[in-house]
Structure 1
Amino acid sequence: MRLPDVVPVRLVLADDEALLRRGLRVLLEADGRVEVVAEAEAGAGLLEVVRRHRPDVALVDVQMPGMDGLAAMRAMLAWPDPPALAVLTTFDLDDYVAAALELGAQGFLLKDAEPDALVRAVLDLAAGGAVLDPRITARLLPKLRPSRLRGNAQLATLSARERQVLELLANGQPNSAIATALGLSEATVKSYVSTVLTKLGVENRVQAALVAHQVDTW
């Protein structure tokens, strides 16, 4: 049932399987917080519908005919104001997911995720959060360049407050939620996040989350 007085997150779905897109649309639109404004079955079509509809979030399969999802994401991330981009994946596509992480994707979701988890992920992405399905975290770590993951040595450079920010960031929390949890302004949180990324030697929130997940202790 759709919720009253809710401005839904505008979403584009890109996958070459029409049945999967249809199923995801039904699941995601069920409670009214997400509106699927367009679908695409290939990368070129994805670029077209994103330009036309300007969604908040795009969920992108990496394997599509013609221009694949990686090429489409690379193109969109060069735009001035791209949507939040998340990869839809399966367990057997680790190399593609690692490549998407290097490009700057903000989320990684398994196609068989529970409906509530999918909706929450889309909402978090729209709010600026990072989304990483815990079932693929361990599989991703060995695929990443060692220089990106410094583990305990990099974590030791963080202040106590920066560690708190990283812990919340690693749980997918957007800046607004981190600000509320720590009693800070969003501007201050944004500054902390920037510092954390710099100290960890990573480029985005998902890479920072992976660093947090791989360390031995906090």
Structure 2
Amino acid sequence: MSLSGLLGGGVCEGGGVTAAQRPVRVVLADDESLVLDGLTAVLEPHPDIDVVGHACDGDALLALVYEQYPDVVLLDVRMPGMDGLTALRWLPAIPPPYCAVLTTFDLDSYVDEALRAGAHGFLLKDTAPAVLANAVRDLAAGGAVIDPRIAARLLPRLRTLPVSRGFEELSQREREVLMLLGQGASNATIGRELAISESTVKGHVTHVLVKLAVENRVQAALIAKRLRESER
């Protein structure tokens, strides 16, 4: 499920590759070969998705990413040697690839650490095949994907936290951008909505992230959700 679905908006996009342009290049990382084969069998039948490599640990994943330059990485948390959470911190700071954890372990500590490390999503391995394929497409478009069961736990925790004081430092335009982020709007959609260029939108998004002291659009969108709920 895309984060935009959680927050009540359209597909959350950032400006990455789309299926209309070329197949989405995907790298999978898991220490179980059976899991890798199963995920490949789920994704490869889709003509707009191309699995370009497998990695069995974090070190192999990093080497593969810099060799294949994928659009999307799906990685497990627990792997021998360098684990998935550590590997996230070594991946390029500016995507692609857009990365999502895909694991059986839905511990809150893993979710928090993954998002802080820059993950664009957190999914569970029992995700339905069609949902997983759509999640890959959303990620490739720069979106955020969070399993609804995890989101159901995450949002109540956010409601107990004070809204970031950084919100008061946002300009009116930056607040408008934040609210649209919370609806799952892409940079292009935000630009059309506010009648500004996409490059200007990117600048506003950067300022929003800095002022709110968050690391990615996922966290900013969740703050927007918290703000909307506080106004009800």
TM-score category, normalised to shorter length: 0.7 to 0.9
1:96-175 aligned at under 5 Å gives the runs 96-140=110-154, 150-151=162-163, 154-155=166-167, 158=170, 161-175=173-187
Instruction: Report the Cα distance in structure 1 between the residues aligned to 2:143 and 2:210, rounded to whole angstroms.
Output: 18
- 3-state SS in 2 of match to 1:105: coil
Match of 1:199 in 2: 211
**Matched residue pairs, number?**
211
Q: Deviations over 1:66-125 (max 9, x none)?
A: 2110121122246x7662221113353221221121112222222222333322322232
CA shift, 1:63, in A, is 0.8
CA shift, 1:30, in A, is 2.5
- 3-state SS in 1 of match to 2:26: strand
Instruction: Report the Cα distance in structure 1 between the residues aligned to 2:120 and 2:180, rounded to whole angstroms.
Output: 15
Q: 1:188 to 1:133 in 2, by over 3 A?
A: farther
Instruction: Report the Cα distance in structure 2 between the residues aligned to 1:178 and 1:159, rounded to whole angstroms.
Output: 16
Q: 1:92 to 1:100 in 2, by over 3 A?
A: closer
Q: 1:96 to 1:5 in 2, by over 3 A?
A: closer
- 3-state SS in 2 of match to 1:129: coil
Q: Percent same amino acid among aligned pairs? A: 55
Instruction: Report the Cα distance in structure 1 between the residues aligned to 2:70 and 2:100, rounded to whole angstroms.
Output: 13
1:35-74 aligned at under 5 Å gives the runs 35-74=50-89
Higher relative contact order (CA 8 A, sep 6+): 2
Are 1:83 and 2:97 an aligned pair?
Answer: yes
Instruction: Report the Cα distance in structure 1 between the residues aligned to 2:127 and 2:152, rounded to whole angstroms.
Output: 17
Report if the CA contact (8 A) 2:164-2:212 is conserved. no
Give the stretch that moved more between structures: 103-112 or 162-171: 162-171
Q: 1:213 to 1:49 in 2, by over 3 A?
A: same
Q: Deviations over 1:5-32 (max 9, x none)?
A: 8610111011122232222222223221
Question: Residue type matched to 2:132 in 1?
Answer: L
Match of 2:188 in 1: 176
Question: Residue type matched to 1:116 in 2?
Answer: A
- 3-state SS in 1 of match to 2:87: helix
Question: Residue type matched to 2:230 in 1?
Answer: T
- 3-state SS in 1 of match to 2:102: strand
Q: 1:171 to 1:69 in 2, by over 3 A?
A: farther
Match of 1:22 in 2: 37
Q: Deviations over 1:156-212 (max 9, x none)?
A: 655565444334423544323433455542112212212322332212112112222
Instruction: Report the Cα distance in structure 1 between the residues aligned to 2:201 and 2:59, rounded to whole angstroms.
Output: 36
Instruction: Report the Cα distance in structure 1 between the residues aligned to 2:184 and 2:44, rounded to whole angstroms.
Output: 21
Are 1:8 and 2:23 an aligned pair?
Answer: yes
Report if the CA contact (8 A) 1:130-1:174 is conserved. no
Report if the CA contact (8 A) 2:55-2:61 is conserved. yes
Q: 1:43 to 1:172 in 2, by over 3 A?
A: farther
Q: TM-score, normalised by structure 1?
A: 0.79
Are 1:95 and 2:109 an aligned pair?
Answer: yes
Structure 1 gap ranges (5+): none
Report if the CA contact (8 A) 1:10-1:56 is conserved. yes
Q: 1:150 to 1:186 in 2, by over 3 A?
A: farther
